A and B are shown apart, each in its own frame.
Chain A
Amino acid sequence: MTERVPVLQIGQILLVSIQTDLDDQAVVHLQDDLTARIVGTGADGVVIDISAVEIVDSFVGRMLATIASLSLLLDAQTVVVGMRPAVAITLVELGLSLGGVRTALTLEMGLKVLERSRVLRQGPSQELAESGLSDEDGVRADPAGQ
């Protein structure tokens, strides 16, 4: 009966948008599905959109942290996007800082984060110059990545 959250693929990126109140089993399924899809598709980025999520408790928080570290082991970077302010306030008070989880305010900014880290991974000089990105744009390597 437990629903499964769809995992969409756009190029090298897997996109998950959580739209409903998930029970714990669905959260575990999502973690397993995403891990399998990263390996199956060779994706190098994962975006998890939580803009419709009204609460993140310790169970969901742990899932986000686990996906973030799992994906790094599988050579992909995870960005969590769209966290509501009330959710952020509650998470901190709950005691969950989600230190290892990369976040961005919007989906668009999250995609930019992944794009920049892809450019950096593919080698320093050529593509960085071609893409017009530089350190002045705030480009930096993911501290947890390398």
Chain B
Amino acid sequence: MLAIAANDGVVRARQVARTLAQQCRLSLVEQTKLVTAASELARNTLVYGGGGTMTASLVDERGRRGVRLVFADQGPGIPDVDLALTDGWTSGSGMGLGLSGSKRLVDDFVLESAPGRGTTVTITKWGR
């Protein structure tokens, strides 16, 4: 488990994601997509969640292997999850592509959040 408490945590999250993507033998394009999604979500954890953690693992399911990353924070949470997943919608100064964009970059994307209860985003990229 990696702590994301400052800018260097976002850099570390990218490095961990890349290492696992290589271990999983993802293609270069798939690696790049996963690492980019990790970067977006780690930054969200830091900026909107007030810091948190990334838990990274290789998973085997139904004969396929993948990389799973779980981003968790204890921040204010997201009142309207559907709205937060809309392109261009932002509660901060960003461009509003972090959540919706990273969803497009991975195979599985699960967002759990409630006001006052923090946010957990779980993403998985499967090997082909």
Residue from the list B15, B32, B102 in contact with A21, Cβ < 8 A? B15
Q: Are A58 and B94 in contact (CB under 8 A)?
A: yes
* Residue in contact with B32 in the complex, picked from A25, A54, A59, A62, CB distance below 8 Å: A54
Stretch touching chain B among A85-93, A117-125, A133-141:
A85-93
Chain B residues whose C-beta falls within 8 Å of the C-beta of A96 in the assembled complex: 95, 97, 101
Contact call B32/A87, Cβ cutoff below 8 A: yes
Indicate if the CB atoms of A55 and B36 lie closer than 8 Å.
Answer: yes
Enumerate chain B residues within 8 angstroms of A93, measured Cβ to Cβ: 33, 101, 104-105
By size class, the interface of chain B is 20 to 34
Residues A95 and B40 in contact, CB atoms below 8 Å apart: no
Cβ-defined contact, B43 with A94, below 8 A: no
B32→A86 contact, CB < 8 A = yes
A-B contacts, 21 listed (Cβ < 8 Å): A2-B7, A23-B10, A24-B7, A54-B35, A55-B35, A55-B36, A55-B39, A57-B36, A58-B40, A58-B98, A85-B29, A86-B29, A86-B31, A87-B32, A89-B33, A94-B40, A94-B97, A94-B104, A95-B87, A95-B100, A96-B97
Instruction: Contacts A57-B39, A58-B94 given; indicate if A89 touches B104 (C-beta within 8 A).
Output: no
Measured between beta carbons, the chain A residues less than 8 angstroms from B14 are 21, 55
| C-alpha spacing A58/B93, complex, angstroms | 12
A26 and chain B: residue at smallest CB distance: B7
Is the Cβ of B7 less than 8 Å from the Cβ of A23?
yes
Residues of A within 8 A of B28 (CB): 86
Chain B 42-53: CB-based contact to A (< 8 A → 1; otherwise 0)? 010000000000
Determine if B59 is an interface residue (Cβ-Cβ < 8 Å): no
Q: How far is the CA of A23 from the CA of B36 in the complex (A)?
A: 13
